[in-house]
Amino acid sequence: MENFRNRLANSIRNIDDFPKPGIKFKDITPILLDASLCNEIAEETLMSFRNNNLKIDAICAIESRGYFIGMLLAQKLGIPLIPIRKAGKLPAATRAFTYELEYGTSTLEIHKNVIKPDWNVLIHDDLLATGGTAVATAELVKAEGGLITGFSFIIELDLLNGREKLLPYSQNILSLSRFQ
């Protein structure tokens, strides 16, 4: 029987030239079609953080693909899921953080006052590439008084060195599948 990490890697579909020429998009749709694999992703993620005796009070999931497994993690732990959204998508008072992209800037937002002071927050997204989105989320969590317990990703693209940008926030970085 194929082990978990091989099954996971084999379930990630590559889409050439999406969203623009020269990009090889990592599509997690096949993973989402396999309820058992989604459950295993959540269990493997939680086991990694439990094995390091890390306390998690809330999950911050990044729009939009981070929500899929982020919600499973929050449900399994019985803790809040805090959505991180693109600017203008949250209905109540927000805190924003703008960051640089290779082709411009982007802004992420969090609802104000949803993170309790000194909560230990796990930041989750589907993919770690350059690290900009995860760093922006970490800055939002810190600005709201939270502590960064760690980061979790389904996929990491090693050649983009995003992990290096996250280390100042936490040494606890989990990527279940890594690609060059």
Alpha carbon 156 to chain centroid, angstroms: 10
Is the preceding omega at residue 80 within 30 degrees of 0, hence cis?
A: no
Least confident of 53-67, 93-107, 131-145, 165-179: 93-107
What percent of the chain is predicted at pLDDT more than 70?
Answer: 99
Is-contact 168 148, C-beta < 8 A?
no
2, 63, 100, 102: the catalytic one is 102
Which residue, 83, 81, 101, is CA-closest to 91?
A: 83
Model confidence at 1: pLDDT above 50: no
Helix (H, G, I), strand (E, B) or coil at 106: strand
Active-site residue, 65 included: yes
* pTM for this model (two decimals): 0.96
Active-site residue, 144 included: no
Model confidence at 98: pLDDT above 80: yes
d(CA 58, CA 78): 9
Encoded amino acid at 90, one letter: L
- CATH numbers and ranges of domains, the chain: 54-179 (3.40.50.2020)
Model confidence at 93: pLDDT above 90: yes
86 band by pLDDT with thresholds 50, 70 and 90: very high
How confident is the model over 61-76, as pLDDT tens digits?
Answer: 999 999 999 999 999 9
Model confidence at 165: pLDDT above 70: yes
2, 44, 65, 139: the catalytic one is 65
pLDDT (0 to 100) of residue 129: 94
pLDDT (0 to 100) of residue 101: 80
